[in-house]
Amino acid sequence: MKVLVIGGDGYCGWATALHLSNRGYEVGILDNLVRRHWDQQLCIDTLTPIAPIHQRIQRWKDLTGKSIDLYVGDINDYSFLIESLLEFEPEAVVHFGEQRSAPFSMIDREHAVLTQTNNVVGTLNILYAIREHFPDCHLVKLGTMGEYGTPNIDIEEGYITIEHNGRKDTLPYPKQPGSFYHLSKVHDSHNIHFACKIWGLRATDLNQGVVYGVLTDETGMDEMLINRLDYDGVFGTALNRFCIQAAIGHPLTVYGKGGQTRAFLDIRDTVRCVELAIATPAEPGQFRVFNQFTEMFSVSNLAMMVKKAGNAVGLDVDIQNMENPRVELEDHYFNAKNTNLLDLGLQPHYLSDSLLDSLLNFAIKYKGRVDKNEILPKVSWRNPGSAKIAK
Ligand code: NAD
Ligand code: USQ
């Protein structure tokens, strides 16, 4: 099957492209490399030294004999998108190609507009392109668990059945996202659902939790295939950040009380979930929603686990509860369903001491590349424009 991975130069996309290629799929990567550009603008860098995309792909071919087609350009450029699709002729499109940081989207008006324009218009372009040229193509779109927010009831997978005034219906689950980034994902979901309804497109929305880890079977094969690992206050995510903070002796940055509970998964499960979604496509007209995570943790719990694992490898780890730069509940109910992917055969890699140990050792290996000035959060939800962000 031919699968186009949009955003295939990024953290989840690169690992997924290699995994699918390894599993015998014919893979193309489409990416405008804007993430590398944003890193430069913000004066941040991944912990790991990632090779240029052409070299990564060449190395993959040298090692495995498998080719990956490359299309460098922006999905917001509709003629480029159409030309690439017509050349590659995908049977499935996996769409990772968005601005994915909540803090980035909250820097100021400009970054909020950039995030929503890039994400919402990009996805709309993909929907139109599929309708026009490949109406049978399955769109697998990365959404996020953060679309749901933290309601005081169980979170279902995309839909909820409600009885109201004696009548009953199954409706999209209510959305209460916590940043302009997370809102862009909600807007995408609505647009995709609508396109499935009116044009009969087939789509799967993968509401993914926070991803951790860096190694997969494929990205671990060679230094030149290494994946990005963000640790800075804008693009770094909770567990990855905590391991890198532990490695350099920085107190773990728990925002507020740390009772915020989120859904998490290992990057080795990300690539497998996408494969499972592609292998069993949605039906024409179906907008299918899978909650893509394996476990739920509070931020405090994660910090405690990293402290314990750090101590075990001889690191002295402190935890610092700091003023929360975000506006979010720090103590709340959170219980989300995730059976759809398990039913398709997902065998989760649960967070374990050995994973934490390997991530900590990975962070120790590259700790010389850490810029300590980029650890603390600079973006405030309450005060847009207040962050001193390099351009
Ligand atoms: P990333 O920033 O590492 O990768 C995104 C890639 O998309 C980058 O290579 C970037 O250059 C590309 N891109 C962005 N806009 C584009 C455009 N207009 N045209 C072409 N390419 C474009 O992000 P990631 O962590 O790999 O996340 C990938 C997707 O998964 C995102 O949609 C994100 O919302 C979702 N997701 C990520 C996580 C996580 O923890 N990393 C969790 C849940 C969901
Ligand atoms: N947090 C801390 N300390 C930190 C970093 C984060 O306490 O140093 C807290 C945040 O306040 C938040 C939680 O940890 O409550 C998660 O924050 P995060 O930065 O790890 O993740 P988030 O901003 O939600 O975004 C990430 C990805 C995004 C994806 C999302 C999945 O960047 O692309 O959509 O995880 S989810 O959270 O399920 O929506």
| Residue owning the nearest CA to atom 34 of ligand 1 | 100
The answer, as to whether pTM is greater than 0.85, is yes
- Report how far Cα 380 is from the mean position of its chain's Cα atoms: 22
3-state secondary structure 325-347: CCCCCCCCCCCECCHHHHHCCCC
Q: Are 55 and 13 in contact (CB under 8 A)?
A: no
Residue 12 lies in a domain: yes
- Residue linked to tokens 């394996």: 294
Q: What is the sign, positive or negative, of the torsion defined by CA atoms of 363, 369, 370, 372?
A: positive
46 Cβ below 6 A of ligand 1:
no
E strand or H helix that includes residue 142: strand 138-144
Catalytic residue selected from 144, 204, 253, 270: 144
Q: Phi then psi for 329, rounded to 5 degrees?
A: -70, 140
Please write the tens of the pLDDT for every residue from 326-377.
999 999 999 999 999 999 999 999 999 999 999 999 999 999 999 999 999 9
Amino acid, res. 129 = A
Residue 389 lies in a domain: no
CA–CA separation, 336 vs 119, rounded Å? 25
Count of structural domains within the chain: 1
Token code pair at residue 121: 């218009």
Residue 379 lies in a domain: no
E strand or H helix that includes residue 174: none
Torsion angle of C-alpha atoms 319, 323, 328, 329, degrees rounded to 10: 70
Q: Which residues of 19-37 are buried (b: 16+ CB within 10 A; e: fewer)?
A: bbbbeebbbbbbbbebbbe
Please write the tens of the pLDDT for every residue from 67-101.
999 999 999 999 999 999 999 999 999 999 999 99
- The SS3 of residue 131 is helix
Q: Strand pairing partners for 247?
A: none
Q: Which of 35, 76, 265, 292 to mutate to test the pocket of ligand 1 (most atoms within 8 A of CB)?
A: 35
Q: Which atom of ligand 1 is nearest to the CA of 235?
A: 2
C-alpha 97 – ligand 1 centre gap (Å): 5
User: Is 185 an annotated catalytic residue?
Assistant: yes
Catalytic residue selected from 181, 212, 231, 366: 181
216 Cβ below 6 A of ligand 1:
no
Query: Which ligand is closest in space to the CA of residue 146?
Result: 2
Query: Which ligand is closest in space to the CA of residue 29?
Result: 1
CATH of the domain at 73: 3.40.50.720
Residue 286 lies in a domain: yes
Catalytic residue selected from 115, 123, 185, 216: 185
CA–CA separation, 128 vs 132, rounded Å? 6
Which is nearest to 244 in space by CA: 361, 326, 346, 155?
A: 361
| Residue owning the nearest CA to atom 34 of ligand 2 | 144
| Residue owning the nearest CA to atom 23 of ligand 2 | 102
Amino acid, res. 354 = S
- pLDDT, block means (10 residues), the chain with 391 residues: 99 99 98 98 98 98 98 98 98 99 98 98 98 98 98 98 98 98 98 98 98 98 98 98 98 98 98 98 98 98 98 97 98 98 98 95 97 98 90 58
In total, the chain counts a number of residues equal to 391
* Conformational region of residue 356, where left means phi above 0, alpha means psi within -120 to 50, and beta covers everything else: alpha
Query: 238-248 and 299-312 helices cross at what angle (nearest 10)?
Result: 30
Amino acid, res. 163 = E
127 Cβ below 6 A of ligand 1:
no
Residue 33 lies in a domain: yes
Token code pair at residue 327: 């506006």
User: Is 257 an annotated catalytic residue?
Assistant: no
Q: Are 271 and 216 in contact (CB under 8 A)?
A: yes
Residue 47: Cβ within 10 Å count: 26
Q: Which of 183, 212, 250, 255 to mutate to test the pocket of ligand 2 (most atoms within 8 A of CB)?
A: 255
CA–CA separation, 247 vs 356, rounded Å? 11
Q: Which domain holds residue 274?
A: 2-374
Residue 334 lies in a domain: yes
CA–CA separation, 78 vs 167, rounded Å? 43
User: Is 307 an annotated catalytic residue?
Assistant: no
Instruction: Check residue 388 and give its pLDDT.
Output: 83
| Residue owning the nearest CA to atom 3 of ligand 2 | 254
Residue 123 lies in a domain: yes
C-alpha 76 – ligand 1 centre gap (Å): 14
Instruction: Check residue 205 and give its pLDDT.
Output: 98
Instruction: Check residue 391 and give its pLDDT.
Output: 58
Token code pair at residue 93: 């499109």
Q: Are 377 and 230 in contact (CB under 8 A)?
A: no
The set of protein residues with a Cβ atom below 6 angstroms from ligand 2 is 100-102, 144-146, 182, 209-210, 237-238, 241, 253-255, 260, 262-263, 299, 326, 328
Token code pair at residue 349: 């890699």
Query: Which ligand is closest in space to the CA of residue 296?
Result: 2
Residue 206 lies in a domain: yes
- Residue linked to tokens 């990567």: 29
CA–CA separation, 194 vs 159, rounded Å? 15
Instruction: Check residue 389 and give its pLDDT.
Output: 78
Query: 122-133 and 180-199 helices cross at what angle (nearest 10)?
Result: 20
